[in-house]
Structure 1
Amino acid sequence: MAPKEEPTDYVIVDVDAESVRAMSLWHSSSLVRSFGARRNAPETRVSVGDVVSISIWEASGGGLFGGRSVVDTGSGSETLPAQVVDRDGRIKVPYVGELLVVGKRPSDIAKIIEQGLTGKAIEPQVLVTLPQQTSASVVVVGDLTGAGRVNLNVKGDRLLEVIAQAGGIKGAAHESFVRVTRGSRSTTVQLAAILSNPEENIYMQPGDTVYVFRRPQTFTALGAVKAAGEMPIDREEFSVAEAMGVSGGLVDSQADPSGIFIFRYEQPAVVRAYRPDTPLLVGNSLVPVIYRLNLKDPSGYFIARAFPVRVGDIVYVANAPGVEFTKFLRMAQTITSTIRSNAVAVSD
C-alpha cells in the first residue's frame, strides 16, 4: 500500500525550463487595465473656482463699451476684469446681470451675453475664455517630484507629460512608483513598467490624482551565503544568479548547491500553469510556493540566470549534508580538549 501524502500549505516546484516559461504569465499592476487607453480630451466646461475672461466687441464706436474699458482693446471693444466663478456658480456682466455659468461651455456663455446685450449694444460680439480652469486639471503630489496642479491641454495629456510639467521624477526608475487615483479606483505601478510599455502611459482625465513615491526593492538572503540579510534589487530584471552575486555567493565549505530555495507568494495564473490541480488555488488569492533549484545540474546555472527574484522573496541556500556532522565533530573535539586540559591540570 502506497504511503499517504500529507497535505501541505504550500506548493513545491522544481525550477526548470517549464517553470521559467510559466513566469511569463506573471503580471504587475496595470494602469491601462484599470483605466483604459482612451484619449478623452477634457471638455472645456466652467466649474466653481474657474477664472472667466470676457471680451466684448461692438460694430462701431460710441456704443456701450466704446472707449470706456478698463483694458481697451480698440474702438468699440472692451475686456472686462477677470472674474472667479463664485460658490453659486455665477458671474456678473454689466448690462446683462448675474449669470449661472457652471457646467456651460465658454461659447454657450458668450451667446447668452450677446442675447442679453441685444438692443443695448451695437451688434455685440462676445468672446469668453478661461485663463485658469481648476476643473480640467490633475493634482500631482509626492516626495520624488514637484507637487502642484497641472492644467490639461484640450489635445489630451499623458501621465508622463503631466509628471514632467510638475517637475519630473528625481529617483531611480526601478524604485520609483506612480499611483493614479481616479474616482474610487486607485492603481500603483512601477515607473520602469511605464517607461518600458508605452501603453501604460495613459491619458489623464480631469480630477485625477498622481502620487509619486519611492519604495526600496529588496529580497532576503538566508542560509549558507557569505552575506545573509536583506539585499537590494538594483535593477528591473533581477535573477537568482544575480541574487547569489549580491549576497556574496555560496560558502564553499557549507553550501549545498543542489538546495537553492526561493520562497514566494505567487500569482495564481503562474501556479495554475504547472500545478492546476492544487487545492491552494482559490480565486485570485496568492499561493505560497517554494521553488527548488539544483546548481549541481549544469543546466541549473542557465536556469538561475533566467529565473526572476521578485521583491519580498526569501532566497535560502541549504547546508551540505556533511555540515551538521562536521559541526558535531568540532563540538566533540572542543569537549575532548577541555576534558584533557582539566585532566592535565588535576595531575599537576
Structure 2
Amino acid sequence: MAVVSACIVALSGCALPRSGPKDDEILAGSKAEGGPVNVVLVDNRVAVASYLDDNLSFPSSFTGAGLASTDTINPGDVISVTVWENVDPALLVGPGQKQAFIQEIQVDQAGNIFMPYAGVLKAAGNTPEQLRRLITRKLDPQTPDPQVEVRRVAGDGSSISVIGGVGAQGVYPLVPSTTRLSAMLATAGGVTIDPDVAQVAVRRGGTTGRIFLQDLYDDPRLDVALRANDKIIVEEDRRTFTALGATSTQARVPFPQGRMSVVEAVAEVGGLNGNTSDPTGIFVFRREVQSIANKVTGRNDLGENEPFVYVIDLTRPDGVFLAKEFQVRDKDTIYITEAPFVAWTKILTATSQTLSFTADVVRVGDLLTDN
C-alpha cells in the first residue's frame, strides 16, 4: 500500500497526457485573477448582449430597385432592322424587291450604329421603337413613306454573368423572363451547392450584396431586380469553427447552416464524449468586437479584438437553453474540458502499469538470485 500511495502521489504531480487545459487553469487566466483573458459566465443577459447581427442581406439600393426595362438598347447589343419600300426602284433593295433585311448590327461602345443611307445613329439609351422612328425620319427624304421595323437581339450589352456553384456558368442575356435573381439562377441551371450553406452574391458596379440561398426562398424582397452587367456569384459558406477537448471529433468544422448555436455546434462534432467530457465546462474562445466586449462586461474602456472566454454550464437548470441561445461565430473555438475523474483514471492506469513493471522486475531479480 505504501508503494501504491507513493506511485499515485508521484504520478499526480506529473504532466499526464490530456486534450487541453483544465477548467481551473482557464479560470485562473481571467483578468479578475490578474490574467490576460476576459472570462464570462454565460447567463441570459450575456447571451443577449453577446449576439452579433451578422445576417447577410442586400443593400437598399438593390431591394428598392424596380424592374429594369429590357427594351432599352445598350452598347454591345445587337439589333436587326427590316425596311419595306413602296417605290421601284427601291433605295435599299434591287428591282422587284420591296423588303430589305439588315441583320446583326452591333451597337459600338460609344452607343452608335451605322445604317445605310441614314448614317451614324445614336442607338444606346433608345428603345427599339424610338430607334425605329429615328431611322424612319432619316430615310423618309430618300424613299417615300418607308416602313421600318427594329428588333433588339440578345447581345453583350444587357447581360448577366453567373459563376460558381450553378449548373451552367456563363453570360446570360437580360430578357423579360430573367429580370429577377431567382429567374436568372434557374436559367443558369439552378444552384448545385447544398442550400443550407449556399451563399449568393450580386456585384453591381462597386457594390456587392450577399445573402444565404435559404433566405431567398423565405423572403421575396430578396429576389432583387437585376441590371445589365450584374455579376452573380454562388459559393459555399466559408465560415468555420474549431472543436477541441473532450468531444467526439476534434477538428476545424465548416458551418453547416447560416446561423448556429453552441448546442448545434457541439452536435455537429458528434456531441460530448460521454466517457471523458465535463458538462460544467464548455468554453467558447473568441476575439470579441469592441462594442459587444464593453456591453458584456459593463465597461467602456475595452478595445477591439479583446480575448474572451465564455463559460457555459450545461448542468444548470437553464444550461441547455443558454447553449441554444448563445451564438457561435466565424473562427470561434469551442473547447470542452475533461471530467475530474478522467485525470484519476489516467493516474490509476499509469499506476497499475508502473506496479506491473515493478513486479516484473522483482520476479526477474528473484530468478537471478535463485540461479
TM-score, normalised via structure 2 length: 0.76
Instruction: Kindly state the Cα deviation for residue 211 of structure 1 after the two structures are TM-superposed.
Output: 1.3
Give distance in 2, aligned partners of 1:42 and 1:265.
47
Instruction: Kindly state the Cα deviation for residue 184 of structure 1 after the two structures are TM-superposed.
Output: 2.4
Name the SS of the counterpart of 1:110 in structure 2. Answer: helix
Instruction: Kindly state the Cα deviation for residue 328 of structure 1 after the two structures are TM-superposed.
Output: 3.2
Tell me, yes or no, if structure 1 residue 133 matches structure 2 residue 159. no
Indicate how the Cα distance of structure 1 residues 7 and 247 shifts in structure 2: closer, same or farther if over 3 A, else same.
Answer: same
Which residue, 57, 77, 80 being the options, matches 1:53? 80
Which residue, 85, 90, 102 being the options, matches 1:64? 90
Indicate how the Cα distance of structure 1 residues 231 and 102 shifts in structure 2: closer, same or farther if over 3 A, else same.
Answer: closer
Kept in 1: contact 2:288–2:306 (CA 8 A): yes
Q: Deviations over 1:212-252 (max 9, x none)?
A: 12346653321112333234543445432233333333334
Give distance in 2, aligned partners of 1:260 and 1:33.
40
Which protein has the larger Cα radius of gyration, Structure 1 or Structure 2? 2
Structure 2: which 5+ runs fail to align? 1-30
Q: How does 1:68-147 map to 2 (within 5 A)?
A: 68=94, 77-86=99-108, 89-147=111-169
- Aligned partner of 1:234 in structure 2 is 256
Instruction: Kindly state the Cα deviation for residue 295 of structure 1 after the two structures are TM-superposed.
Output: 1.1
- Aligned partner of 1:14 in structure 2 is 41
Give distance in 2, aligned partners of 1:160 and 1:347.
85
Q: Which has the higher helix share?
A: 2
Indicate how the Cα distance of structure 1 residues 217 and 136 shifts in structure 2: closer, same or farther if over 3 A, else same.
Answer: same
Give distance in 1, aligned partners of 2:92 and 2:32.
96
- Aligned partner of 1:195 in structure 2 is 217
Structure 1: which 5+ runs fail to align? none
| Identity over aligned pairs, percent | 28
Tell me, yes or no, if structure 1 residue 334 matches structure 2 residue 353. yes
Name the SS of the counterpart of 2:59 in structure 1. Answer: helix
- Aligned partner of 1:31 in structure 2 is 58
Indicate how the Cα distance of structure 1 residues 275 and 195 shifts in structure 2: closer, same or farther if over 3 A, else same.
Answer: farther
Instruction: Kindly state the Cα deviation for residue 345 of structure 1 after the two structures are TM-superposed.
Output: 1.0
Q: Deviations over 1:126-159 (max 9, x none)?
A: 3322112322221111143311222224698222
Tell me, yes or no, if structure 1 residue 223 matches structure 2 residue 250. no
Tell me, yes or no, if structure 1 residue 294 matches structure 2 residue 340. no
- Aligned partner of 2:201 in structure 1 is 179
- Aligned partner of 2:229 in structure 1 is 207
- Aligned partner of 2:189 in structure 1 is 167
Give distance in 2, aligned partners of 1:307 and 1:213.
27
Name the SS of the counterpart of 2:361 in structure 1. Answer: helix
Give distance in 2, aligned partners of 1:343 and 1:94.
112
Indicate how the Cα distance of structure 1 residues 67 and 206 shifts in structure 2: closer, same or farther if over 3 A, else same.
Answer: closer
Name the SS of the counterpart of 1:81 in structure 2. Answer: strand
Instruction: Kindly state the Cα deviation for residue 165 of structure 1 after the two structures are TM-superposed.
Output: 1.4
- Aligned partner of 2:19 in structure 1 is none
Instruction: Kindly state the Cα deviation for residue 300 of structure 1 after the two structures are TM-superposed.
Output: 0.5
Between 1:205-214 and 1:307-316, the stretch displaced more is 307-316
Give distance in 1, aligned partners of 2:87 and 2:297.
85
Give distance in 2, aligned partners of 1:341 and 1:270.
61
Q: Deviations over 1:161-211 (max 9, x none)?
A: 211111110121122122222222334432223333333332222111111
Give distance in 2, aligned partners of 1:103 and 1:289.
56
Give distance in 2, aligned partners of 1:69 and 1:239.
80
Kept in 2: contact 1:64–1:120 (CA 8 A): no
Indicate how the Cα distance of structure 1 residues 152 and 265 shifts in structure 2: closer, same or farther if over 3 A, else same.
Answer: farther
